[in-house]
Structures are given as C-alpha cells and as structure tokens.
Amino acid sequence: MVQVGAATPPLRRGRAAPSLLRFAGWMLQVDPARGALVLALRIVQGASPAATVWLSARVFAEGQAVWAGRAAAAAMLGWLGAWGAVGLLEVALWPLFELASNAVIHDMEDAATARLQAKAGVLRLEAYERPDFHDILRRAREACDPGMMLNLVWNTTDLPQNAVTLLAVGGLVGHWSPTLLPAVVVAALPQPISEIVQARARHFRGRKQTADERLRGYYGTLLSNPGAAKEVRTFDLQAWCLARWRGLFWKVADEIHRQERAQTLARAGLNTVTLLGYAAGLAVAARGLAAGDLPAARFAALLLALRSVQGAAEGIAMSLLGWGGELLLKVGDLFAYLDLGPEEPAGGARPDPSGDIVLEGVGFTYPGKATPALQGVSCVLRSGERVALVGENGSGKTTLVKLLCGLYRPTEGRVLYGGRDMAELHPQALRDLQAAVFQDHVRYAFTLGENIGLGRAEQVADRETVRRAAELGGADAVAASLPQGYATPLTREFEGGTDLSGGQWQRIAVSRGFMRQAPLVVLDEPTASLDPRAEAEVFRSFAQLAGGGGQAAGPNRDATAGGDAGSGPVTAVLVSHRLGSARLCDRVLVLEGGRLVEQGRHDELVAAGGPYARLWAVQSQWYR
Amino acid sequence: MASSSTASTTPAAAERASAALAASAPGPRRRGPGLLSHLRFALRAAFRDAPGPMAALIALQIGAALGPPASIAVTQRLVTVAVDTAGHGASGFDAVLPWLAALLATLILSQGPVWQFREPLLQRLRQRLTSDLEERRLALAARMPLWEIEGSEAQDRLDRSGDPGGKVQRLVEDGLLLSATGVSALGVSLLYRVVSPWVVLVFVGSFVPLALHEAAEGRKWDTFTYEQTEPQRRTAYVDRLLTGRAEQKELRVFGLLGHLAARWREGRRALRAERRGLKRAMIVRGLPFAALPWATGLAVAVLLVYRLHAHALGIGAFVALFGGLGSLSGTRGMFGYHLGEMSEHGAEVAHVRTFLEGEPAKRPADPDRSVAGTRPFPRPMREGLRCEGVVFRYPGAERPVLQGIDLRLRPGERLAVVGENGCGKSTLVKVLLGLYRPDAGRVTVDGVDLAELAAGELHAAVSAAYQDYWRFELTAGESIGVGDTRAMGDPDAVRAAAAAGGAAAFVEALPQGFATPVGHVLEGAADLSGGQWQRLALSRAMMRDAEVLILDEPAAALDPKAEAGVYAAFAAASNGVGDGAPERRRAVLMISHRLGSARMADRVAVLRDGRIAEEGTHDELLAAGGMYAGMWEEQAQWYR
Ligand SMILES: Nc1ncnc2c1ncn2[C@@H]1O[C@H](COP(=O)(O)OP(=O)(O)OP(=O)(O)O)[C@@H](O)[C@H]1O
Ligand SMILES: Nc1ncnc2c1ncn2[C@@H]1O[C@H](COP(=O)(O)OP(=O)(O)OP(=O)(O)O)[C@@H](O)[C@H]1O
Ligand SMILES: [Mg+2]
Ligand SMILES: [Mg+2]
C-alpha cells in the first residue's frame, strides 16, 4: 500500500527561492521599456525629498535674514522658484508614473496568467488528480491577481526610490549633524524587521486555513451556481448550506482576527520606538542648537529631514523583509507552481499510425489512493480492430481509456504503440493520431459550430467538415432545431445563448469526436443519454469507422462498412454499458475490479457463460 | 396566481407571453441613487453590524484628523522657541524640550502607533459585514427562481455583487478617511488666517472643483466597468477552461491549448486596450486638478515671504506654515484620491444594493412573489399531480418547449415518459417539481395549484434524481444525505438510501466508507467513476419519504446490473411509503431512453413536439405501431 507514492509520479516542488531580483528581472523582461521607465521615474522621485529638504533649509535661513531685515523679500524668490520647480516636477512625473506602472502591472498580470495556462497544459495529467495540486494552482492564481502585481511592482520599485532618498537626505543630515544619523535610522528598523516574522506567521496561517476556505467557497458555489440550483431547491438545502458556510466563515475569521490583534500590539510598540528615535534625534539637534553648533534654519529643516530619512530606512527594510517578504512568499507560490513537474516530454519519436497497441501488465493507481484502479491488464489491440470495453461501474474502463490515449502513464507495466513505449513518443504527434469522446465531455460555452469544430481546432471555421461531423454524431438535428443553427451560443451564462438537453449535448460531444479522422478512435459511453434512434446511429457510425470491412453495421443486418475513414485502418475502442453495441465489435474486453477477466467475440463470450454472459442476460431480458 | 390559472392554454397565448417578455427585456441601464445614498447605506450597515469597531475607528480618525494642524501649531512654537534660544546653552535646551515632547505626542496620537490599530478594526468591520451581507447575497441567490439563476443577467448581477462585505467596508473606510482629510485640511487652512483670510478661502474653495471632477470621473469609470462585466466574464471563462481539471483530457487530446490561449489573449487585448485608453484619458483630464494645488501653494509661499518681510509673521510661524504647504498639498492630493476611490467604491456598493434590495426580475407568467402561498401539500395525496394545458418557453427561446401538456400522475402509479432528445422531458420534470412556472396552464396536486402551496411544502413532499445531477463533493455519506438534511445525521437512513440507490456496495468498499470524501473539495478526497457518481445521485433521491419521486435518466451511466436494480426499484417504489400508512402510495415518474424500463410502468407517455403524442401501456403502444413502437424496435434489435 505504501509503495503507491513511489509508483505515482511525484509532484516535484519548485526549489528556486524567489527574490526581488528575480521579480525585477522578470518585470524588465515582460515589459522592458515601460519597466525601465517605471524604475527610472521612481529613482528620480527618490531624489526629490532631498532637494526639498535642502531648499527648505535655504528658505528658512533666508527667511531669518529677511525677518531680521538683513535681506530683501525679493532675494528669496529665486529659492522659492527652485522649491516650486521641484514640486512641479513631482506633479508632472506622477501621471507618467501612473500610466506606465498601470500598463506594466497589467502586462505582468497577463504574462503571469499566460505562463500559468501554458504550464497547466504541459504538466502531466496525473498532477490534476493530486489533492494538493489544486491548492498550489489556486495560490499561483492569487499571485497573478492585478492587486498582487500592483503591490509587487510598487514594492520592487520602492527599493531604489528609498535608497536614493536615504542616501541623499541621509547625506545632508550627516553633513549637518554627523552623530544624529545612525541612531535615527536604527530606531526605524525594528518594526519592518519584525514584520517579516509576522508576515510569515500570516502566510502559514493562511495555508493552514486553505481547506476550510475551499470548503466555504464550495458552499457558496452550491448556493449560487446554476448547476447546483435544481438540487438546492428540491432538497431545500439553502439553510443547511448557509449554516455550514457561516460556521466555516467565523472559524477562519476569528483565527485571522486573533492573530491580527496580537500582531498589532507588537507593531504599535515597535512603531513607538521609531518615533522615540525621531524625538531623540531632534533632542540631540536641539542640544546642538542650544550650544550654538547648529543654525536654527537647519534645525527646522531637520524636522522634515529626520522623518524622511526614517521613512526611507523603514521603506527599504519593508521592501526587503517586511511586506516585501510577504509578497515574495506569494510570488514564490507562483514560481513554485511554474517549477512543478513532471511535465509531458517536449519531443520524442513519431508513432507508427498503423501500429498495434500492446498492453503489457498494465496497472494504474490514482495518486493518493491505496487500491489500484487497474491491475495486470495485458492485451493487444490490433490495428483496424473494433474493440468493446465493458464492465461494471468503477471497473476501470475510463481509466484504461485515459491510458490508451497516453493521458496517464501506467504505474505498472507499459503501453506500446507500434512497438514503442508510449512514454517515448512525441505527445503531440501521438495526439494527432487520436480521436476521443470522453464520458464526462466538456460543454463549452461557445457556439454550436465551435463546440463541434474544436475537435480539430484548425478546422473550427470549416463549415463543411463541421457539418459532416455533426451528421455522424447526430448533432445535425440539434442544429436544425435552433433558429441560429450552428451559430447559436450554447450557454445561458452569457447573453444571447441557449442551453440544451442532456442528449443534445452528448450528440455534440460525439460529433466533436468525429471531427477527426484518426487511426485510433476511443468512445467512452457515447450514448449514455441518447434516444434509441440516435444511439443506433452512433453505433452505426462507429461500425463504419473501422476499416475492417465486411462487418455488420447493425446487429442483425448486413450493411456497408469501412471506407469512410480516409486512409489506413482505424482502431476503434467503444466503452458502453449498452451491450448490444458489443456485437458490432471484433472483440469484447471485460473488466472486473480493474482486471481483464475475459475477452473474445460477443457470441463466444455469451456461450462461455462467464461474467459477460451474466451482464448480457441481465440487460437483454428487458427486450425479449 | 390568478394570472396563471386564467391564462389561455394555447400556444398562441404563449407567443403573446413571449412577446411581452421581450418587451420587458432589460433596456439600457438606469441610473440609480447617487453616491451619498450609497454611503448612507454603507454606514448604516456598518453601524448595524459592527457598532464597536465603528466607534473606535471614528475615534482614531478624529485623532488622525487633528494631527496635521496640531503638529503645525506645535512646530510653530518649537521653531520660535528654538530661534529665540539658539546658542543659549542648557537653559535654551530646557525651553525646547517640552515642545519636542508635544510634537512626539501629536505624532503618536495621529499616526504611527495608534494608527496601527485601524487595521484590526477595519478587519473586524469587514468580517462582520461579510458575514451579514454575503449571507444575504447567497440566500437571495439560492431563492432566485431557477429560470432566473440560469440566465446571464443573474450571473452578471451575482458577479458584480461579489464580496459585498469588502465592498461596503471599503466605502465606509473611504468615507472615514475623506472626512478626516477634510477636517484636517480645514484645520490646516485655518492656520493660514494669520497670512490672510483670503488664503483660507482659496484653500477651501479649491476643493470644490476637485470634488466635482472626481465625482464625474467616478461615474464614467463605473459605466465602463459595468459594460465590461460580460466580456470580462467571457475571457475569464476561457482562462478557467485552460486550467480546469475536467477539461484537461479533451484540451490535450484535441490539441486545444494553443487555440484557446490565443482566444484568451485576443479577449484580454481588447479589454485592456479599452481600459488603458480610458485610464489615460482620465489621467490627462486630471492634470489641471493636480497642478492647481501646486500653483496655489507656490503663490501662498510667495505671500508668506512678504508677510514675513512685513513682520506680520514670526519666523516660527513662517517655518511652520511654509512646511505646512507641503502637508496641505499632500492633504489635498489625498482628498482627491479618497474621493476618486469613494466614487469607484460607491459604484461597487451600488451593485451590491441592486442585488440585495433590487426588484426581483419578472416573467409575465410569474405570480406575484410577495404573496406567498399558504396551502399545505396534501398528504396522503389522493388524486395526484396533474398538468393541465401546460405551456413553457425558456426565456429568449422562440418557441415554447412544452405546448399544452395534459398529463396525470396518480398516487401509486408508475409512469414512464419517453421521447427523442430535446423533446422536453427534463423540462417537464422541472415544471412538475415547481422549479419552472408554466407560462400557461397549471400544475396541480389534488386540485391545488402548486403556486398556492406554502413555501417548502412542495419540496418536502417530492424527490428527484435529475439527468444533469450535481456532484456534491463532500463525504460520500453527506453527498447522499443532502437529499434530506434532517436525516443526514442518521447513518441508518443514509445507508438505507444508499442501498436503494445502488451506492451501498461501492461506498462501503471505499477506505473510510461513508465518511470518505469524494470529488476534489475536501482534504484527501478522490474522484469517482461516472456511474458511481450517478449512483450517489440516485441514492440522494431516495433519502426522502416523498409522495412523488421523479427519476430523469437514472440509468444513463449505470452498468447493466445497476440498471436492473434501478428498474426493480422503480417497479417496487410505488408500493409503499416508509411511514407505515398503508393507503399512502408513492407516485413515480421515470424518464428513460432504455425502453426496457417502460415495460415495468403502468403507463407510458410519449412526448413529441411539446405535447403528449401517445399514451398507454407498453403493450398497447407496441400494438398501436406508432412512434413508441418504432423506438422500441430500433432498440430491441440490438438484444435479440
Ligand atoms: N436551460 C435551458 N435553457 C434554454 N433552453 C433549454 C434549456 N434546457 C433545455 N433547453 C431546450 O429545451 C428543449 C427541451 O430540453 P429538455 O432538456 O427538456 O429535453 P429532454 O427531452 O430531456 O432531452 P434528453 O432526452 O436529451 O434529455 C431542448 O430543445 C433544449 O434545447
Ligand atoms: N480521478 C480519480 N481519482 C481517483 N480515483 C478515481 C478517479 N477516477 C476514478 N477513480 C476510481 O477508479 C476506479 C475506476 O474508475 P473508472 O472511472 O475507470 O471506472 P469505469 O469503469 O469507467 O466506471 P463507469 O462505468 O462508472 O464509468 C473507480 O473505483 C473509481 O472510484
Ligand atoms: Mg467510465
Ligand atoms: Mg432530459
């Protein structure tokens, strides 16, 4: 039981520690021109406090002279002009900064989301079955949020701005009163430094609460999602869901609040230390003033300067450790997701389109599960063969289908395609050879035509191909019943759309599968919701697919077969609980509890009186 | 109620109804109440939900508002004393110290340490508001009629009103900050009266154009975001597809990643281009309003110099007031900023209000929802459910799906409804269960219109397994138990329902039995196979001791043995209802494309073109050689 973990591909965690530098580098890479502009603007902005302080000191000094009658008022106008110019620069740069940073933030949001999507598409599918994967994905998504990006961009660019301020204003202060500076700066540090400890505590508290938050969100979904609306109303679940929602909400909220209160006390205490440092600095300056070492104008300017120095020092510590640390923990989630593995191979051998598919002792265990879904399955699907896969619910048919499509890798044994291990084949090339209809097909909120056409995205706009696929899968009747035909948007969640019945959706899914003329066709329960006529049609389309020729296209009649599938033989696999369809197949594979227990032609198996015969007897009794 | 029972039952009437609906379709958006009204709403909610935190926040805010004027006043004294005592040695230092202490005190009270306590208070406020408003929002969503919540309009409204607690809290916070900034700007302005009363007037007056400008910009932004909701939702949908678990298989096999990613990029680009254009225009329009404070500041600085020269100002006052110019322009910047935020957040709160207080959407056929029904569900049911000329049309559809259905379901009867895909069987189920109201005609139980039943009466008496059942991703036991929340705590009830729905065997084989989490929501949950999910849905329907049980395609994903089990249950289900009253017999309606099941039914109804086209027993219909006979033949050939 324990070796399961070893058998399933481990979710490789990212190692790279994210850093401000990695982030800044990324920003410059995503949007080089604007990213650089934002950085430059902030550096210029960083210099302006020093200019203001210095000019203020001049103005105060001149003011004293004017007051004492030593100078004319007009003599100050030059200094005022300079002071005003600095102010004007600030006023003018701000909108520029706002525009540029806005654009950068959205570019980064898009870049991050695009990377997240791309990653989602190349990760091996098993990852999606892992319980922890979805939390990692969700956290990565949170890190792509525009608000997050805003904070990050600000935080990252705060650093150079504050550094410039600290150097410039600090230089000025040091020049005026060398002993003051270190004490004032040091007093500003404890709070931001303690912030990193607090931030980590918050971050990990948040992680601990993920499960509760997820469940609370789910109760919210139950109440507001149209899909759950019927059951919620019929079973009167409103009050019940709300009660659970409320319980989880306050459980989490109280924990958060308790932590916040404790942290606030610490923060307020350390903040007082900062202010005491400021006051102490001023006291030292006042002593200098009293002793006659420091001119009064400079003392007045220090009132401004010391706060500005403290602010800059605090800001730097915050960027590096405090909020910055917290933000980086969050971006770290994104980078950790982007570093996840294993991925599908980027290359590999080209498969032989007319090769047999060989299963050698194939077993599969879902990640985190103790019992295997498939075990020791060995068989050969010959090229051009029609194979039915039957078995009870949960016997592993769908799992086997996913293995045949190369979506999962067997955790035991191997699947060979044309003599090569599927794992070595080029994933894209492999997929070009497959067409599939899955049991839990997707209902795309696109138009009817697109829903079918997406079976072969390059031909989504090719009406003729779409129409032909629709005919094969029975969706043509659906299109005919809608006023806008193939252009009807199939969802009521967006304006102007309509919804369909379960069977109509299934016809569309089957048609989507028929968009491709591929050497391997897999249909997993394609007729579960179809009416008898549509079901018969699909079975006939299926029978025509495989190029074996000479087979009956209906259970009891001889009809034409083969030929329609373009070039080459077609291997077709049909999973169905409608056992009548198994008669169309060259061979029936019977699964039971994840093992292949029987195989042969329908007639042979019925005659053999095994599990298949029993299933057949149960179902055919209704129709005798 | 009167409207639905007196309406004519012809399709023509339904056509008229649809025309009326089209006429009442939402037009361009009306402008609702203004910002002040939203602020009042927000403040009222805040004081109601969190009086304590609100009082404390206001106290903090008063301290913060008085901070800047106080510190300018203290600075003035400090500098005056400093200049006077410069070079006086220890005695000079002693004179400065008290003012330094005073400066420290204003800083501690107005920013820094005390200010830190705002965060936990705001957090508490947000939590209380969320708990209250989000709960109301969810409850409203859960009470929306089914047709409404299925529509795009409701989804848009739900989207826009998301996180109502956060939205209201932000508006309250804006209100507090704005008034504090206003007070402190006024306080600082008043200090300048020593320069000239006109300065005070100019300072205060310059806030007016700023306020008007910000309010106008806020409205534009609001209209813009309102119109972007739907396109935004569309791109977000594609984004979700790309990372969705259920979608991955298809996306990969069909190689759709590139295609969809391109679609997403396209959608984003369009959205962003618009947004960026508007933002740029707003920033450009805002330039004069940013330059104005700067210009007045400079003018006043010049004035200060001349007043100093004329000895109308002391040096201390000069330094303090000159320094104060910076703080004043900062304050004005903050004022504009908070105002902008406020109108933006006001618009968000407007969406919350429209959702929470708004008129419910209406369909012409809807009875007045404010008049609740009062009748109980007749138990035991004697005559059963009856459709009389039921017409139903989906909103936005051209033709009604049901065009005059007359159908009867008696207690103890097993009725099979069959028909082609899309003929309206599932729709009929939803009408029968009161989820949709007929546009014309009526559904009655023992002669009482469903609309006249008291709230909850109908649902307590019926149960159903829907064709597109929801997968409750809780524990296996809960997933079944939600069929009857009052009994879900009783393991025996859940086990019995599981046995009846064919889920018992596989659930008991799960590692933790009924306590095993299924799906992906709970920690440690694992997915099930399609048929296993359907068995859970069936078992859920079996939880209730219902007078009417409806099974819509219950065997679609079931294996032959489970299918036989369902048919057997169907055959037996009407024999008695659990509580021992022998005369009570359950009515069962089953929809299935597996016509073998129809043999077990007392009666088969064939639905076609929105009407019951054939009705009778299996044998009668076979003999009649109509549509049913054709379908039967089509299916039975596979099994001979
Ligand atoms: N939510 C909806 N909104 C709009 N139209 C709908 C909706 N659901 C179904 N329809 C339309 O109403 C018609 C009847 O659908 P319904 O689901 O009742 O069919 P059905 O008889 O149950 O079919 P099936 O056998 O495929 O389950 C279909 O044409 C479908 O397109
Ligand atoms: N994503 C998953 N994660 C974990 N376990 C799974 C997952 N999907 C299926 N299982 C389990 O693996 C087993 C095989 O499931 P599979 O879906 O292959 O059955 P199936 O034969 O297709 O059944 P059905 O006839 O109901 O479609 C079942 O016991 C099921 O509970
Ligand atoms: Mg399956
Ligand atoms: Mg249906």
Rounded Cα distance, B429 and A491, in Å: 20
Angle at B589 between CA A524 and CA A479, to 5 degrees: 50
Nearest residue on chain A to B130, judged by CA atoms? Answer: A249
| Sign of the torsion angle spanned by Cα atoms B459, B462, B463, B468 | negative
Q: Is the pLDDT of residue B27 over 70?
A: no
Asked whether residue B11 carries a pLDDT value surpassing 50, the answer given is no
What's chain A's average pLDDT?
86
Subunit contact B279:A242, Cβ cutoff 8 A: no
Q: How far apart are the C-alpha atoms of A531 and A67, rounded to whole Å? A: 99
CA distance A392 to chain B (A): 5
CA angle B22, B24, B27 (to 5 degrees): 100
> Does the beta carbon of A4 sit less than 6 angstroms from any atom of ligand 2?
no
**Interface membership of B256 toward A (CB under 8 Å):** yes
Which of B269, B459, B463, B639 to substitute to test the interface with A, most A CBs within 10 Å?
A: B639
> How many pairs of residues across A and B have Cβ atoms under 8 Å apart?
503
Residues A252, A193: Cα–Cα separation, whole Å: 27
pLDDT for the residue numbered B585: 79
Instruction: Name the A residues in 367-406 with CB < 8 Å from any B CB.
Output: 368-370, 391-395, 398, 402, 405
Short-list A35, A153, A156, CA closest to A100:
A35
Task: Please state whether A549 falls in left (phi above 0), alpha (psi between -120 and 50) or beta.
Answer: left
Structure token pair of residue A188: 């500003």
Would you say B199 and B302 are in contact if contact means Cβ atoms under 8 Å apart? no
The two tokens of residue A192 are 């931001």
Domains and CATH numbers, chain A: 14-341 (1.20.1560.10), 357-623 (3.40.50.300)
Q: What is the pLDDT of residues A223-270, one digit of tens each?
A: 999 999 999 998 999 999 999 999 999 999 999 999 999 999 998 998
Buried b (16+ CB within 10 A) or exposed e, B84-122: ebbebeeebbebbbebbebbbebbbbbbbbbbbbbebbb
| Digit-coded pLDDT (tens) for B524-557 | 888 999 999 999 999 999 998 888 999 999 999 9
A548 touches chain B (CB under 8 A): no
Whether the predicted pLDDT of B1 surpasses 60: no
Local confidence band at B360 (pLDDT 50, 70, 90 cut-offs): low
User: Do residues A593 and A601 make contact, with C-beta atoms less than 8 angstroms apart?
Assistant: no
pLDDT of residue A319: 81
Within 335-374 of A, beta carbons closer than 8 Å to B belong to 366, 368-370
Q: Which domains does chain B have, with CATH numbers?
A: 33-362 (1.20.1560.10), 375-467+553-640 (3.40.50.300), 469-549 (no CATH)
- Cα separation, B14 vs B17, in Å, equals 5
Rounded CA gap, B352 and B604, in Å?
A: 49
pLDDT of residue B291: 86
- Is any ligand 2 atom within 6 A of the Cβ of residue A391? yes
Q: To 5 degrees, how large is the angle CA B292–CA B295–CA B301?
A: 140
Q: Output the pLDDT for position A68.
A: 85
> A94 vs B430: CB contact, 8 Å cut-off?
no
Q: Which residues of B touch A211 (CB under 8 A)?
A: 522-523
Q: Are B113 and A620 in contact (CB < 8 Å)?
A: no
CB-CB contact of A380 with A596 (8 Å): no
pLDDT at residue B579 above 60? no
Biggest alpha carbon–alpha carbon distance for chain B = 123
State the distance from the centre of ligand 1 to the C-alpha of B462, rounded, in angstroms.
22
Tell me: pLDDT of B6 over 50. Answer: no
Pinpoint the alpha helices (H) of B412-456: 425-432
Instruction: Say whether A73 and B430 touch across the interface (CB within 8 A).
Output: no
How confident is residue B51, by pLDDT bands cut at 50, 70 and 90? Answer: very high
> Can you give the pLDDT at residue B329?
81
Q: Whose CA is nearest to atom 10 of ligand 2?
A: B528
d(CA B458, CA A235): 10
Give the Cα separation of A39 and A137 in Å (integer).
30
Q: What is the mean pLDDT of residues A366-392?
A: 93
pLDDT at residue A306, as a whole number: 86
Rounded Cα–Cα distance for residues B2 and A465 (Å): 52
Hey, is the C-beta of B37 within 8 angstroms of any chain A C-beta?
A: no
| CA trace torsion A212, A217, A220, A222 (10° rounding) | -90
Instruction: Decide if A547 contacts A487 (C-beta within 8 A).
Output: no
Best of B232, B377, B593 to substitute, by most chain A Cβ atoms within 10 angstroms, is B593
Residue in the block written with tokens 């430059």: A40
pLDDT at residue B143 is higher than 50? yes
Q: Is the pLDDT of residue A565 over 50?
A: no
Q: Best mutation site among B392, B427, B468 for ligand 1, i.e. most ligand atoms within 8 A of its Cβ?
A: B427
B86 to A295: CB separation less than 8 angstroms, yes or no: yes
User: Which tokens sit at A404?
Assistant: 């045949």
pTM for the whole thing? 0.88
Q: Tell me which residue of A455, A206, A493 sits closest to A330, measured CA to CA.
A: A206
* Contact predicate B479/B492, CB 8 Å: no
Cβ(B528) – ligand 2 distance below 6 Å: yes
pLDDT at A547: 52
For the stretch B362-373, what's the b/e string if a residue is b when 16 or more beta carbons lie within 10 angstroms of its beta carbon? Answer: ebbbbbeeeeeb
Q: Say how many Å lie between the CA of residue A374 and the centre of ligand 2.
A: 10
Question: How many angstroms is it from B554 CA to the middle of ligand 2?
Answer: 19
In short, whether B529's Cβ falls inside 6 Å of ligand 2 is: yes
Task: To the nearest 10°, report the CA torsion of B450, B451, B457, B461.
Answer: 20
pLDDT (tens digit per residue) in B117-142: 999 999 999 999 999 999 999 999 99
Closest-CA residue of chain B to A224: B141
The whole-angstrom separation of Cα A142 and Cα A146 is 9
Predicted confidence (pLDDT) per residue in A336-367, tens digit? 888 888 888 888 888 888 889 999 999 999 98
**Residue pLDDT, tens place only, A258-276:** 999 999 999 899 889 888 9
Tokens representing B117 are 């306590």
- Give the residue from B307, B534, B559, B621 with the most A CB atoms within 10 Å of its CB, the best one to mutate: B559
Please tell me the distance in Å from A360's CA to the nearest CA on chain B. 23
ipTM: 0.87
Residue whose C-alpha is closest to residue B465's, from A397, A502, A220: A502
- What are the pLDDT digits (tens) for B71-100? 889 988 888 888 888 888 788 888 888 999
Q: Which of B424, B443, B458, B409 is nearest to B552 (CA)?
A: B424
| A449-458, A516-525, B151-160, B628-637: the lowest-pLDDT one | B151-160
